[in-house]
Each structure stands twice: as C-alpha cells, then as structure tokens.
C-alpha cells in the first residue's frame, strides 16, 4: 500500500454495526509512500498516525485535486437514459 499527501483513506468498521471511517492523509513520512500515515479523520477532525490493515482502501488524488483515473475506469459522466439511446428514424405521419 502506498499513498501521498492529499489522498483519502477509508477503513471498514470492525463489525456489522461499526461505521466506515474516512479521512485525508496529511503526512507521509516515507518518501516511497509506505505507511505509517498521519490521517485527519472526517468524522472528528482528529489526527492519528496509522498503519493501515487489509480493510483499508486509498483513493489517490493527483496534485491538482481531481481523482486519479483507475485502470479500466472512466472519469466521464455517466450517460443519461436519453443520451444512451441511439437515434431512430421516425415513421412518416400519414395524413388522412
């Protein structure tokens, strides 16, 4: 697992009734991006130095603040239902 300052981290709760936690990675002491990470938690605003476990996920951000594209995904907006339809020829109206 590797991260950079500004990335987001989410950690699944330990049980079915424990909420998902998320925060911003505000410091990465190792130049190679490996843990530990100093995280500011979004729910409390507190900071913690953590070594993420297997239940942690990192969302990488590019330097300008936009989410980095993941391989095999697109950052384009999803098509709306009408935009997803292909144009069809309309039958000529018959006047009677």
Q: What is the 3-state secondary structure (H, E, C) of 4-44?
A: CCCCEEEECCCCCCCCCEEEEEEECCCCCCCCCEEEEECCC
Choice among 8-17, 40-49, 75-84 with the minimum mean pLDDT: 75-84
pLDDT digits (tens, 9 = 90+) for 29-72: 999 999 999 999 999 999 999 999 999 999 998 754 555 555 54
Whether the predicted pLDDT of 27 surpasses 90:
yes
C-alpha to C-alpha distance for 30 and 60, rounded to whole angstroms: 16
**pLDDT value of residue 75:** 45
Whether pTM exceeds 0.75: no
């Amino acid at each position: 697992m590797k991260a950079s300052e500004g990335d987001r981290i989410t950690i699944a709760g330990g049980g079915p009734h424990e909420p998902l936690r998320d925060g911003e990675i505000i410091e990465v002491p190792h130049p190679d991006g490996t843990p530990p990470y100093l995280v500011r938690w979004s729910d409390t605003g507190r900071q913690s130095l953590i070594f993420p476990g297997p239940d942690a996920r990192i969302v990488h951000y590019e330097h300008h603040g936009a989410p980095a594209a993941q391989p095999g995904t697109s950052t384009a907006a999803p098509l709306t239902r009408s935009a997803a339809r292909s144009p069809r020829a309309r039958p000529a109206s018959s006047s009677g």
